């Protein structure tokens, strides 16, 4: 899960609570992928659930009812999270289609989970290593998009709170990009905003003041 791990590491300065994802859950997923695929799938479910909770409780100050959150099932928690991300267009349609897969992942977890969750043993069915790899790859892409969308939305909210105009943001972005013209695939200004929003804001304040 290198894509997700790197994104989390690049944003730990702004979101130190994300360290748990790398240090605990991603490590758990990686360590069980081959020998205990069902535990790996369990880790994927926990990762999606944890990120959904983070997004839901941090994007809407009215979402503070933990008791109510615990009453939601896995798919409902995911749906609540994507609801507060306020995505539009194909992005919103595509992420909403993943809700059925999240629901199915919950079913797989309940049917094939480890005996510690009360599952009868021996179990009727097991996940093999290839299926676990498939689940891991899908989970990584989904969680990366959830967190990157969260970061982008928070950046937009910060921009709306400051006094700079859209033209000023564009001017500053063009200035930053001119300093690093050889960067491929992504502009320097976009990368900086996504990976270190506080540094971006500090440089912009310096640029205009």
pLDDT at residue 209 tops 70: yes
pLDDT at residue 134 tops 80: yes
pLDDT at residue 69 tops 50: yes
CB 10 within 8 A of CB 186: no
Express as a percent the part of the chain with pLDDT over 90.
43
Asked, as a colleague might, if the bond just before 11 is cis with ω within 30 of 0, I would say no
Q: What's the rounded mean pLDDT across residues 60-67?
A: 74
The three-point CA angle 36-116-105 to 5° equals: 60
CB 191 within 8 A of CB 183: yes
- Residue 22 has what DSSP assignment? I
Q: What is the value of pTM for the model shown? A: 0.74
Do you know the residue count of the chain?
A: 209
pLDDT at residue 97 tops 50: yes
The pLDDT of residue 8 is 93
Please write the tens of the pLDDT for every residue from 19-62.
989 888 888 888 877 788 888 889 999 999 999 999 998 887 67
C-alpha–C-alpha distance, residues 95 and 172, integer Å = 32
């Amino acid at each position: 899960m290198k894509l997700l791990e790197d994104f989390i590491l690049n944003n730990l300065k702004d979101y130190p609570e994300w360290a748990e994802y790398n240090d605990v859950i991603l490590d758990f997923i990686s360590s069980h992928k081959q020998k205990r695929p069902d535990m790996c799938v369990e880790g994927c479910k926990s990762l999606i659930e944890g990120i959904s909770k983070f997004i839901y409780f941090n994007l809407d100050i009215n979402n503070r009812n933990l008791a109510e959150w615990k009453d939601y099932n896995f798919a409902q928690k995911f749906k609540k999270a994507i609801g507060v991300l306020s995505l539009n267009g194909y992005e919103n349609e595509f992420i909403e289609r993943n809700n059925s897969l999240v629901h199915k992942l919950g079913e797989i977890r309940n049917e094939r989970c480890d005996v510690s969750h009360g599952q009868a043993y021996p179990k009727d069915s097991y996940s093999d290593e290839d299926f676990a790899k498939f689940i891991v790859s899908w989970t990584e892409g989904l969680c990366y998009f959830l967190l990157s969308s969260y970061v982008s939305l928070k950046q937009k909210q910060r921009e709306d709170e400051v006094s700079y105009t859209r033209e000023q943001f564009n001017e500053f972005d063009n200035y930053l990009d001119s300093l690093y013209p050889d960067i491929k695939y992504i502009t320097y200004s976009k990368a900086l905003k996504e990976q270190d929003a506080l540094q971006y804001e500090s440089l912009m304040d310096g640029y205009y003041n």
